Chains A and B, each alone.
Chain A
Amino acid sequence: MSATPIDNTLLATGPVEEPVNYLNVDHSIKSWLLTGDHKRIAILYLFSTLFFFFLGSVAASMIRLELTSPVGMILESETYNKVFTAHGVIMIFFFLVPAIPAVLGNFLVPLMIGARDLAFPRLNLLSWYLYIIAGALILTVLATGGVDTGWTFYTPYSSMYSNSQVTMSIIAVFLAGFSSIFTGINFIVTIHKMRAPGMTWFRLPLFVWAAYATSVVVILGTPVVAITLLLVVFERVFHLPIFNPELGGDPVLFQHLFWFYSHPAVYIMILPAFGVQSELIANFSRKRVFGYHFVAFSTLAISALGFVVWGHHMFISSESMYQSVVFSLISFLVAVPSAIKIFNWTATLYKGTIRLQAPMLYALGFMGLFTVGGLTGLFLASLGTDVHLTNTYFIVAHFHYVMVGGSITAFMGGLHYWWPKMTGKIYNDGIAKVNALLVFVGFNLTFFPQFIAGFVGMPRRYHYYYLIPEVQAYHILSTAGASVLAISFVIPAVYLLQSLKSGPKASANPWGAHGLEWETQSPPITFNFTETPIVTDEVYDFDPVSEFEQERANAEMTDPGNDAAVTHTGEELPSGGTE
């Protein structure tokens, strides 16, 4: 974007002293723990969410190992219940919900709209502390026996019968919920009120649109699940019989209220991934996102429709036929805006100058995996097939295709794409590309067999399946895939951390990308821009100069010694090779 040109990039070439940036401005621990800087909070979130991702993955590995035998391998039934609950609660509330908004969103939203910070920095920090307190509580839960209700906390089991750590888990989820509400409020206010001069709504990067739509879902949905779970705590601790069927309470009411949030929560996890996807597809095919307005409005349409489809989780839970028909119909409607996105991204690729660098490989993987995840959702939205497939591994495979294949792939793509901006370092693109393929292969190997296992009758949440031993082959395939997937998450940890230590310095715009975040130095200064940028054109306005920059960026990738300035003037510079 031809905003006010900034000369920081020239400083980046200064050989002696590293320019001041948000990372090296102050090294004390206090400066991190009391920071108001959205970029530092994003880094804090990055490490804390990855810690919980690791924990959730350990639980997943235990599940996969257990399922390799029809009579179980390592866990007792009760322990198995606690392990899959831990996997669900940690992955959903402590990784997927905060991962993209709180890490990439926190880092990028102010940068992308040309603001110095989010509107409420201290609220942002409070959000992280709430997350940490919630995380400490969930660790306490794990250390004191765990919780066995499943991540859905269905009543009356959770409210009346379970004698595991339900109360503490719910308080942890409640606090994590408020942490995401605070992030949501911050994004809404920031996007409404803090855009740089000239940054109109339709010049916003689609990532910002996605962050906005996500925040709307967060502030409308999360309070509902907060109060619903709180009512379960009230019932357990204070004996208020809200969901108690013995006294005339309705346990199914819990399911309605729970899914009123938890279906939109799916969109909290996937909408930011759509945002990342739009950025990656546009910048690595050097083209404006095809049908920008449609992509932007389909994001809003998904967040609106997301609130009226919760009943499709309850087709077999005493819902009336007419209710089910309506919910089924609306669930099919969600496929329309989702398909608009997929088609528009595909159209963006058409005649684009495609660069197959690591983030782009993740983006392409996302398109395939999300399409499978989305389309199998339609099987489950159809009443007839749903009755057969509900509570089987088909559902497990479906939502993992959306959550892991969609959200986590996009998170990985986004992390790779913005890593040079966040850290000022460039990682090894070759290994990253191989790893992107490894994620894709490992993922499909893990979850595709689960579709079949589920279809032939493997129920979810069971660990004994000696009555249908023929599904063992699928489980073994799945476990093998999970091992590949595990390795493909360890490798990035190694090469990304290694890039911090010995990676070449990143220029302000190593991808030759377009957007305000690439117009400040890498890593940015604390207040992001030396002066408030003025935006004069739209975000995906690629020009031939960018092509030139891209070539240079490629040269840099392979040639660590060269981090010469990237210029926006379009004047031909010698490629500055130093081989």
Chain B
Amino acid sequence: MATAHADPHDEYSPLKHQYEDIEQQNECYTVGMWTFLVTEIMFFGALFFTYTLYRWNYQEDFYLAHEHLNVTLGAINTTILLFSSFTMVMGVHYAQLKDKLKVLGSLTVTMGCAFAFLVIKYFEYAEKFRDHLYPGANFTTDAASLHGANLNHAQLFFGLYFGMTGLHAIHIIIGILCIGTLAGMWAKGNKLVTEDYLPTEMIGLYWHFVDLVWIFLFPLMYLMPQPYK
């Protein structure tokens, strides 16, 4: 009887007790991660819906307000995130080959890109704060900063800008924590990740999702065409 309570698998195996075999475990990881990503899509989906509605209502003002965003910095950040996705893929690739050093290298570069993204984001935000473009009582009335946009609707635009990019930045930070934990497990040679590449791939999936959100945010916020009059 007592044996039934012991872990049915070897404690040094990457296989957890609730699974029959490693295939089942990996399938569970995959389905679980994609399900989680569905919740994330719904999470950001509501935000994108809100954005779409207001941009549709206030096309001219959103266009004018968006001119204050720094397209160059945004484009650099986009490139950085795309590159980090590439290094993440390389990390998963080397995880399949069980090449510990190269995995650690790839993950480190990915985290470096994430930090670089946040630093650039910091300078972008600082610029907006300097020009009093943060919504609220201190919002600027300077027509030059607003590029002629309606004061109220510009607040709405910057409200969405800070809300959406802010939540995205929080996801970047969570990503850094996840990749950091993963890198730590690789460094310690934890068999959960070294013997089974799936956890690395799952963190990778999350990271690609975070990148993908930015791929939508960048054109929506920074690259608006002039609306038809």
Residues of A within 8 A of B (CB): 11, 19-20, 25, 115-121, 123, 181, 184-186, 188-190, 192-194, 219-224, 226-228, 230-231, 234, 238-242, 244, 246-250, 253, 257, 260, 525-527, 530, 532
CA of A190 to CA of B24 in the docked complex: distance in angstroms? 10
Write out the residue numbers on chain A whose beta carbons fall within 8 Å of the beta carbon of B42. 219-221, 223-224
Nearest A residue to B16, CB-CB: A121
Chain B residues proximal to chain A, CB less than 8 Å = 1-2, 4-5, 8, 17-20, 24, 27-28, 31-32, 35-36, 38-40, 42-47, 49-50, 53-54, 57-58, 134-137, 150, 152-153, 155-156, 159-160, 162-163, 167
Q: Are A223 and B4 in contact (CB under 8 A)?
A: no
**Cα distance A184–B42 in the bound complex, in angstroms:** 14
Selected from A240, A249, A250, the residue in CB contact (under 8 A) with B162 is A240
Q: With a CB–CB cut-off of 8 A, which chain B residues contact A219?
A: 35, 38-39, 42
Q: A191: nearest residue on chain B (CB-CB)? A: B31
**A188:B155 contact, CB within 8 angstroms:** no
5 cross-chain CB contacts under 8 A = A121-B18, A189-B28, A219-B39, A231-B163, A242-B50
Which residues of B are found within 8 Å of A241, using beta-carbon distances?
A: 135, 152, 155-156, 159
Contacts known (A185-B35, A220-B38, A527-B4); A240 close to B18, Cβ less than 8 A: no
- Distance in angstroms between the alpha carbons of A119 and B26 in the assembled complex: 11
Dominant SS at the A interface? Answer: helix
Nearest residue in A to B45 (C-beta to C-beta)?
A224
**Chain A residues closer than 8 Å to B134, beta-carbon distance:** 239
Instruction: Assess whether A247 is in contact with B18, with CB atoms less than 8 Å apart.
Output: no
- List, in ascending order, chain A residues with CB within 8 A of B53's CB: 250, 253
Contacts A192-B31, A193-B27 given; indicate if A227 touches B18 (C-beta within 8 A): no
User: A278 → chain B, closest Cβ, in Å?
Assistant: 25
| A194 and B18 contact, Cβ closer than 8 Å, known pairs A227-B46, A227-B47, A526-B5 | yes
CB-CB under 8 A from A224, the residues of chain B are 42-43, 45-46
A193 to B46, CA, bound (A): 30
Please give, as numbers and ranges, the residues of chain A lying within 8 Å of B54 by CB-CB distance: 248-250
Asked if B38 and A117 sit within 8 Å, CB to CB, the answer is no
Chain B residues near A240: list those with CB within 8 A: 135, 159-160, 162-163
Query: For the complex, what is the distance from the CA of A188 to the CA of B38, rounded to whole Å?
Result: 12
Known: A228-B46, A240-B135, A241-B135. A189 touches B35 (CB 8 A): yes
Query: In the complex, A222 Cα to B8 Cα: how many Å?
Result: 36
Chain A nearest CB from B3 CB (Å) reads: 9
Within 8 Å by CB of B5, from A20, A118, A186, A257, lies A20
Report the bound CA distance from A184 to B35 in whole Å: 9
Shortest Cβ distance from residue B56 to the other chain A in the assembled complex, whole angstroms: 11
Q: Which residues of B contact A228 (CB under 8 A)?
A: 46
Which residue of B has the minimal Cβ distance to A220? B42
A188 near B31 with CB under 8 A, answer yes
Tell me, rounded to whole Å, the shortest Cβ–Cβ distance linking B154 to chain A: 9
Give the distance to chain A from B26, nearest Cβ to Cβ, in Å: 10
Q: Is the CB of B159 within 8 A of A525?
A: no
Q: Could you tell me the distance between the alpha carbons of A185 and B30 in the complex, rounded to whole angstroms?
A: 12
Our pick among A221, A234, A246, A532 for the contact of B163 (Cβ within 8 Å) is: A234
Give chain B residues whose Cβ lies under 8 Å from the Cβ of A192. Answer: 31
Complex Cα distance, B40 from A219, in Å, reads 9
**B interface secondary structure, majority:** helix
Contact pick for A185, options B8, B36, B155, CB 8 Å: B36
Contacts A117-B17, A119-B18, A253-B53 hold; do A248 and B153 have CB atoms under 8 A apart? yes
Closest to B57 in A: A248
Known pairs A194-B24, A223-B40. 12 more at Cβ < 8 A?
A: A11-B1, A20-B4, A116-B17, A185-B32, A188-B31, A219-B35, A223-B42, A227-B167, A239-B136, A257-B49, A257-B50, A532-B20
Chain A residues closer than 8 Å to B40, beta-carbon distance: 223
- CB A548 to nearest CB in B, in angstroms, measures 28
Q: For the complex formed, measure the closest distance between the CB of B169 and the CB atoms of chain A, giving whole angstroms.
A: 13
Q: Which residue of A lies closest to B1 (CB)?
A: A20
- Say yes or no: B8 contacts A527, CB within 8 Å: yes
Smallest beta-carbon distance A350→chain B, Å: 39
Tell me if B18 and A242 are in contact (CB < 8 A).
no
Residues of A within 8 A of B18 (CB): 115-119, 121, 194
Docked Cα-Cα span, A308 to B6, in Å, equals 48
A219 CA to B42 CA, complexed, in Å: 8
A530 to B36, CA, bound (A): 32
State in angstroms the CA–CA spacing of A248 and B18 once bound together: 53
Are B159 and A119 touching (Cβ within 8 A)? no
- Shortest distance between the CB of A232 and any CB in chain B (Å): 11
Q: Which residue of A lies closest to B7 (CB)?
A: A527
Chain B residues near A11 (CB, 8 Å)?
1
On whether the beta carbons of B32 and A20 are closer than 8 Å, the reply is no
Shortest beta-carbon distance from B107 to chain A in Å: 22
In the bound complex, residues from chain A placing their C-beta under 8 Å from that of B135 are: 239-241, 247
User: CB distance B38 to A242 under 8 Å?
Assistant: no
B24 touches A193 (CB 8 A): yes
What are the 3 A-B residue pairs with the smallest beta carbon separation, nearest first? A239-B136, A240-B159, A223-B43
* Min distance, Cβ A491 to any Cβ of chain B, angstroms: 36
Contact B35 A188 (CB under 8 A): yes
Contacts of B160 in A (CB 8 A): 240, 242
In the assembled complex, the Cα of A94 lies from the Cα of B5 at a distance in Å of 33
In the bound complex, CA of A123 to CA of B49 (Å)? 30
Instruction: Give CA–CA (A239, B36) in the complex, Å.
Output: 30
- How far, in whole Å, are A185 and B2 apart by their CA atoms in the complex? 31
**Residue in chain B with minimal CB distance to A250:** B53
Inter-subunit contact A257/B46 (CB<8 Å)? yes
A348 and B40 alpha carbons, distance in the complex (Å): 41
Shortest A243–chain B CB gap in Å is 9
Beta-carbon contact of B39 and A248 below 8 Å: no
Residues of B within 8 A of A222 (CB): 39
| B47 (CB) vs chain A CBs: closest residue | A227
Contact of A223 among B46, B58, B137, B150 (CB under 8 A): B46
Instruction: Let me know if A189 and B32 touch, CB within 8 A.
Output: yes
Give the residue among B2, B28, B40 with the most A Cβ atoms within 10 A.
B28
Q: B152 to chain A: which residues have CB within 8 Å? A: 241, 246-248
Nearest-neighbor residue (CB-CB) of B32 within chain A: A189
